[in-house]
Amino acid sequence: MIAVLIFSKDIRQRSKEKNVGLLLPTTSAGLICNMAALLAGKTVVNLNYTASADAIDAALDKADIRCVYSSRLFVKKLEQKGVAVEAIFGGVRMVYLEDMKAAISSFDMFATALKILLPARWLYGLYGKTLFGKKTSLDDPAAILFSSGSEGTPKGVLLSHRNIVANCLQVSDVLNTRSDDVMVGSLPLFHSFGLTVTGFMPLLEGIPVVCHPDPTDVMGTAKAIARHKATVLCGTSTFLRLYVRNHKIHPLMLQSLRVVVAGAEKLAPDVRDAFKLKFSCDVFEGYGATETTPVASVNIPDQLDDRYWHVQRGQKVGTVGLPLPGTAFRIVDPQTMETLPANEDGLILIAGTQVMLGYLDDPAKTASVIVELDGQRWYKTGDKGHLDEDGFLVIVDRYSRFAKIAGEMISLTAVEDTVRAVMAAGSSITDYAVDLLAVNVPDEKKGEKIVLLYAANIEEDDLRRMMLSSDTLALMMPAEYVQVAAIPKLGSGKTDGVAARNLAIDAIS
């Protein structure tokens, strides 16, 4: 708290502009700097240091960022990984936390330590004057998060204080957070899942959070879980797969976990089953988008009502759960926007307090995804799915993840599932070891064709023969098979669709 108050005063003096950039990993310093900037009345922009130089430059320009707060040690590590920090951030003023800390006197520390004994409302304002921080409205922007860009140019998503606080409370409610919980904070702060769920939520709820800056370093994270007896782990399917693959991670290292939540991408069934088998821990799948701060729904453990011996169902395998409190789903025809009945696939709409303010300086794009129905603001997700008879949401695919071949719409996810099943049945490869992706590319004869990228130890000709000898429908067969070292990923762990499609085109051309 002392650090947040002192840094907040420093940020107010250094940065007169509204938006400030943060180039920091998921560490205590990263969280402190985010809270300090918010307390100073700023809008935080956590920059994606795993993105391309062009994407970072676009974010700096679009958010009009003139000052970026970072760490000398972190910048050095980025440069060692090949990130040209000096070239990318040459046009902005860099402020390093090490320098800010060195400028803090012992008197400042002592005086601030005394001030935090005052009631909180006195810290924010006393007799009309602000001692620390700056008053803002709940509906003012708190953060600008640039979308992952998995399907195109990243967009600046404006999230208000109301969006973030509400989503933190919603998630805390359904996860039934407890005073003895310990949260694992390993997801990047430039991702809405990491900023909101594993960053701000534990701070607002008074839950300790154990930070680890690299979500792919699962051994380091596992050691942190074991050392601090962490109870809540959130991650993507891609990151959870790494825990299963790493034979050095003993199941006892994760035995303190009471709940594991997967989000940001579809949870692969083989990852869920393998994680359960190895660690005796269920993985509960959630769903949302950066535009919904991000969580909209999640599966939770079933509860037994011992008064009436009735089981209150909180999860269904194959679904992404029930909507959070204060959230609503609606399935509509994407053309007419007419509501569809249960079990009928259509466009998924989300309404709730966590729906974003809009896209940064792009009212046309905002208007294309926000629609008002029955007095509610609904976000058009671009995902295809349905609600079952109990209200659980089932995701079929993204509308953009369909290939149109000879007039037929083919789900790329269905193609991937089919290939995985054939590979599991026809080779020694286990399901959880298969990382693959189907992409659609232009084709002169049929309009489009499906190219399968896969990272597995099997020859392309052998895989093709396995598929041809199976009873798979011709339309579900990939036209091309490309063996790759790894499927392109974004820093959040999600698949980089743009890079994957370019990789496929280059491989077959």
342 pLDDT more than 90: yes
Residue keyed to tokens 């940065």 = 15
418, containing H or E segment: helix 412-426
Question: What pLDDT, in 10s, does the model give residues 400-446?
Answer: 777 877 667 788 888 888 888 888 776 555 444 578 899 988 887 77
Instruction: Give every strand in the sheet of 141-146, ordered side by side.
Output: 93-96, 67-70, 19-23, 43-46, 141-146, 156-160, 358-359
Amino acid 52: pLDDT:
82
Q: Which of 463, 509, 492 is nearest to 186 (CA)?
A: 492
pTM listed for this prediction: 0.84
Residue 397 pairs with which residues in a beta bridge?
384
Distance CA 501, CA 300 (A): 35
DSSP structure string for 431-483: GGG-EEEEEEEEETTTEEEEEEEEESSS-HHHHHHHHHHS---GGGS-SEEEE
The answer to whether the beta carbons of residues 493 and 265 sit under 8 Å apart is yes
pLDDT of 470 > 90? The answer is no
pLDDT > 90? residue 339: yes
Phi, psi angles (nearest 5°) of residue 489: -125, 155
CATH 3.30.300.30 spans which residues of the chain?
402-508
Residue 211, phi then psi, degrees to nearest 5: -90, 140
Task: Give the C-alpha separation, 17 to 435, whole Å.
Answer: 44
Look at residue 133 and tell me whether its pLDDT is greater than 90.
Answer: no
pLDDT exceeds cutoff 70 at 3: yes
pLDDT at 431: 47
Is the confidence at residue 392, as pLDDT, over 90?
yes
Sheet with 232-235, side-by-side order of all strands: 209-211, 183-185, 232-235, 259-262, 283-288, 295-298, 322-323
Please provide the distance, in angstroms rounded to a whole number, between the alpha carbons at the two ends of the chain: 57
Give start and end residues of each alpha helix (H) in 308-411: 363-369
From the list 363, 364, 396, the residue with the least C-alpha distance to 382 is 396
Q: Does domain 1-136 have CATH number 3.20.20.70?
A: no
Spatial separation of the C-alpha atoms in residues 92 and 468, rounded to whole Å: 56
| pLDDT value of position 432 | 46
- Structure confidence at residue 459 (pLDDT): 87
Residues 156-212 have pLDDT tens digits of 999 999 999 999 999 999 999 999 999 999 999 999 999 999 999 999 999 999 999
- DSSP label at 68? E
Quote the mean pLDDT of the chain: 90
Going by C-alpha positions, the residue among 235, 232, 172, 175 that lies closest to residue 201 is 172
Task: Give the residue range(s) of CATH 3.40.50.12780 domains in the chain.
Answer: 148-302+313-400
3-state class percentages of the chain: helix first, strand second, coil last, to nearest 5: 35, 25, 40
CATH class of 402-508: alpha beta
- Check whether 152 has a pLDDT greater than 60: no
Backbone angles phi, psi at 53, to 5 degrees: -60, -40
Q: Where in the chain is CATH 3.40.50.980?
A: 1-136
Which CATH number applies to 148-302+313-400?
A: 3.40.50.12780
